[in-house]
Chains A and B, each alone.
Chain A
Amino acid sequence: MCLGIPGRVQEVYEARGTRMAVADFGGVTKTVCLAYVPEVGVGDYTIVHAGFAITRLDEASAVETLRMFAELGMLESELGQDEPVP
């Protein structure tokens, strides 16, 4: 119950004045309440707890973090053997 799952918003609709969505969780789709994330729209990734989206996953930060990981150990020379992460 407490594990948050990342899902991708496929469809947004209104139900009795509340913003709802159908979100895809790696092949399984579920109904998600978007009341707390007005900025989230179709195509966005979001973290869902107990049927509620609680935050938008920020793509730029994700890319930046992965780039930082990829650059770790650069100074210790082993770079070039592994594919860089976009």
Chain B
Amino acid sequence: MKYLDEFQDPVLAGRLFAEIDAAVTRPWALMEVCGGQTHSIMRNGIDQLLPDTVELIHGPGCPVCVTPLEMIERALEIASRPDVVFCSFGDMLRVPGRDRDLFGVKASGGDVRIVYSPLDAVAVAEAEPDRQVVFFGVGFETTAPANAMAVVQARDRGLANFSMLVSHVLVPPAIEAILSSPTSRVNGFLAAGHVCSVMGTGQYEPLADRYHVPIVVTGFEPLDVLDGIRRCILQLEEGRGEVENAYARAVQVGGNPVAKAVLAEVFEVCDRSWRGIGLIPGSGWRLTPAFADFDAERRFDVGDLTAEEPTECRAGEVLQGMIKPDQCEWFGTTCTPRTPMGATMVSSEGACAAYHQYRRVDTPVSVRRG
């Protein structure tokens, strides 16, 4: 398909690898923020083809992975109610709570339904007016426009039986949390391209200035990822720390103004806990007071449910780039995608699952070095 195949071209990949080789004079650690990029890096074996001096650290950019346990528990609690139809993106169903997941709730009779778009949940609410339809509104700035529109449509259609359990997270505060952590080894960031398609690149300028760090807006195909790495390395070698757009075909400086206007109407910034990382101030979105009637946490009163993270899982260290997934003692033995101990193994976008899927004895390599 157009703009897909071209950005997987092995010959051009070889050129980009050669440019990176030529530019690097010392070790650098780069973090790809988004789980989609982690997936692309693993699938194409990019990390193994880079010079040894360039290390990729896999960031917290998988919304399934960072949704805190207490929010999963709230979802399980609400989904278990007999009057509720609980709608969710499929990835969330296997996320382990304390002693069960949403699949478990479904298996024991709960009405849990997988939807492709949040508008499907609105349609369910309209078709089944006697049921309470709850949508699990998770994700980064990329899924937020979809979730926001679902709430707007529910309001416009007067659907009193629709609500949303909102657990939105935001990328820039997470980057700042990593930058300000004393244990951080990250020298430069590949920022998540599609987050910037929505929000634009302006939010990253103050971070690049304050921490003097390169932040390169990067796409998801192999050539996109390589170009993001190349530009990041060039900045580091030249002592620059700037915001750069390596994904111009999908990212405008100002983002998507129509989406931003709706997001500003529906969501407001709040503090949010990230699974494995902890509380990051100002790192989430919740519904604005104008949409409070659609807030599932108010409607079902499960707001003060708390839960402790399991101690064995080392997803927190993985998410902060302190260990690689295969350095966790449970990786591939006790913990597998079929029996996940932590959320980074549940989602296919999670770093542990990406390692498990692609890091076998023979790593498939679809791009080659020049």
Additional 7 contacts, C-beta under 8 A, given A2-B143, A36-B259? A8-B2, A35-B258, A49-B145, A51-B146, A54-B198, A61-B249, A69-B12
Size of interface on A: residues with Cβ below 8 Å to B: 41
- The residues of A with any CB-CB pair to B shorter than 8 Å are 1-4, 6, 8, 18, 25-26, 30-31, 33, 35-38, 45, 47, 49-52, 54-55, 57-59, 61-62, 64-66, 69-70, 72-73, 76, 78, 82-83, 85
Contacts between the two chains (Cβ within 8 Å), count? 145
State whether A36 touches B64 (Cβ < 8 A): no
Distance in angstroms between the alpha carbons of A49 and B92 in the assembled complex: 16
Min Cβ gap B261→A in Å is 10
**Do B36 and A58 have beta carbons less than 8 Å apart?**
no
Q: Is B319 an interface residue (CB 8 A)?
A: no
A36: chain B residues within 8 A (beta carbon): 145, 149, 256, 258-259, 262
Question: Is A69 in contact with B4, judged by CB distance below 8 angstroms?
Answer: no
Which of A25, A49, A69 is within 8 Å of B146, CB to CB? A49
Chain A residue contacts of B316, Cβ below 8 A? none
8 Å CB contact of A4 from B36, B153, B227, B370: B36
Residue B363 is within 8 A (CB to CB) of chain A in the complex: no
- Name which residue of chain B comes closest to A74, CB basis: B15
Number of residues of chain B lying within 8 A (CB) of chain A: 58
Give residues of chain B (135-158) contacting chain A, Cβ–Cβ below 8 Å.
138-140, 142-143, 145-147, 149, 153
In the complex formed, the residue of A with least CB distance to B262 is A36
Q: Does B107 contact A (CB under 8 A)?
A: no
Cβ A57 vs Cβ B250 within 8 A: yes
**Would you call B328 an interface residue if the criterion is a C-beta within 8 Å of the partner chain's C-beta atoms?**
no
Contacts of B262 in A (CB 8 A): 36
Interface pair B19/A50, CB less than 8 Å apart: no
Closest to B192 in A: A2
- Bound-state Cα–Cα, A68 to B354, Å: 30
Chain A residue numbers with a CB within 8 Å of B149 are: 33, 35-36, 52
Q: Out of B116, B118, B143, B249, which one reaches A57, CB within 8 Å?
A: B249
Are A51 and B220 closer than 8 Å at their CB atoms? Answer: no
CB-nearest residue of chain B to A55: B197
> A52 to B144, alpha carbons, bound, how many Å?
10
Q: Within the assembled complex, what's the spacing in Å between the Cα atoms of A66 and B145? A: 30
Listed residue (B15, B90, B116, B262) with the most chain A CB atoms within 10 angstroms of its CB: B15
Contact (Cβ within 8 A) B258 A2: no
Given A52-B117, A54-B142, A85-B9, A47-B18 contact (CB < 8 Å):
no
Among B2, B64, B146, contact of A33 (Cβ-Cβ < 8 Å): B146
